[in-house]
Amino acid sequence: MRKVLLGTVSILLFFALTSCISVSVTESVETSAVDNPEVAAAVAKLMDELTRTAQTLDAEKTLAPLSKDKDAVFIFDSKPYTRSELAHCMGKIYGSLKTMSMKWDMECVKVLGPDSAAWIACGKGKSVSKSGESYEEYLTETWIWQRIDGKWQVVHSHESVVSLPNAEKRAKIENALTQFTLELQKDTPTAENIYGTIENFLSKNAEILGSAYSMNPELGKKASFYSFRKIPGPGFERRSTPTTYDYAVAEWYLKSVKAGKAEWSEPYYDIDGAGVFMVTCSIPVYDKDKKLLGVITADLGL
């Protein structure tokens, strides 16, 4: 946990890690994993207890399962720590917090053998500092457990945390998008002028990485236009959505249309566009008669 948890693998390295496990694990170990529900259940229970302990902000109890082996390494915030170093670091972080909570969206146990397993999870952490500042982060966790002399210990952990936009930044982006929708109401966007309109919007809002306008297909025109900042810059790159892609049923489009207001996506990697990890805010665009014209988005790199 960074401000929140310890021991994770990055959202990108998470897939690499699981890929490496699947490649390097032999057939005999795979069989062993299938035949060891006891190991999977034991590690799952241990991590459930550890997660609950972490939320009490007791660093000493949280780190109690970590191996005392002098050669054990624990990666936190992309830096290697010994057990004692990590205890000192986490003690300072936990001591600065008022509350902390986390919710796992995905968790699994990969049994590596009769006495070892990897616990992997992705989710969100929320914390409030003693000074009143709030944080929301997207995190993944990887803990390697080993049973030594009959006792389960954490022999390695790795972490990665991505800070999500706070309430103030979200409000700022939502306000910018709302103002943009008012401009689009006055001058209905077309395929001929939409890219210039989007790029003018991006020029006024430097923190926004990219923006897309997707027309309401119920009006007889199915088209989506995306422009994003070149990395490295300067300038913009344009992408039109293939007509075979039914964006009208995509969550980023449908969620904001149903809500009638700005909605935020979960963090994701934009493989077909800017090529970065990001979150997207979507907001519906209506004409003066409250008829849906389409959806406009704003991407924030993480």
Domain boundaries, the chain: 11-163, 167-301
Contacts of 293 (CB under 8 A, 6+ apart): 184, 185, 188, 189, 215, 216, 219, 285, 286, 287
Q: Say what the pLDDT of residue 112 is.
A: 95
Q: Say what the pLDDT of residue 7 is.
A: 38
Looking from the CA of 179 toward its CB, the CA atoms found within 13 Å total 11
Q: Say what the pLDDT of residue 192 is.
A: 84
Number of Cβ within 10 Å of residue 213's Cβ equals 23
β-bridge pairing 79-81 and 292-301: unpaired
First-to-last CA distance in the chain? 17
**Domain 167-301 sits in CATH 3.30.450.20:** yes
Best CATH choice for the domain 11-163 from the list 3.10.450.50, 1.25.40.10, 3.40.50.11720, 3.30.300.30: 3.10.450.50
Show pLDDT as tens, one digit a residue, over the chain (302 residues).
333 333 333 333 333 333 333 333 333 334 444 568 999 999 999 999 999 999 999 999 999 999 999 999 999 888 999 999 999 999 999 999 999 999 999 999 999 999 999 999 999 999 999 999 898 998 889 999 999 999 999 999 998 888 899 888 999 999 999 999 998 888 877 778 899 999 999 999 999 999 999 999 998 888 899 999 988 778 999 988 777 788 999 999 999 999 999 999 988 888 877 778 899 999 999 988 899 999 999 999 98
- What is the pTM (predicted TM-score) of this model? 0.70
Q: Say what the pLDDT of residue 74 is.
A: 96
Domains 11-163 and 167-301 belong to one CATH topology: no
DSSP for 237-300, please give it: EEEEPPTTS-GGGSHHHHHHHHHTS-EEPPPEE-TTTT-SEEEEEEEEEE-TT--EEEEEEEEE
